Amino acid sequence: AQRVTQPEKLLSVFKGAPVELKCNYSYSGSPELFWYVQYSRQRLQLLLRHISRESIKGFTADLNKGETSFHLKKPFAQEEDSAMYYCATHRYTGANSKLTFGKGITLSVRP
Question: Which residues of the shown chain bind another protein in the complex (CB under 8 A)?
Answer: 4, 6, 32, 34, 36, 43-46, 49, 51, 86, 88, 90, 92, 95-104
Residue 91 Cβ vs another protein, minimum distance, rounded to whole Å: 9
Residue 8 Cβ vs another protein, minimum distance, rounded to whole Å: 13
**Which one, 40 or 95, has the nearer CB to another protein?**
95
**Which one, 15 or 106, has the nearer CB to another protein?**
106
**Which one, 15 or 91, has the nearer CB to another protein?**
91
**Which one, 66 or 94, has the nearer CB to another protein?**
94
Residue 25 Cβ vs another protein, minimum distance, rounded to whole Å: 13
Instruction: Read off φ and ψ for residue 47, nearest 5 degrees.
Output: -95, -55
Q: CA dist 55 to 37, 38, 97, 101, Å?
A: 14, 18, 26, 21
Residue 37 Cβ vs another protein, minimum distance, rounded to whole Å: 11
Q: What is the largest CA-CA distance in the chain?
A: 48
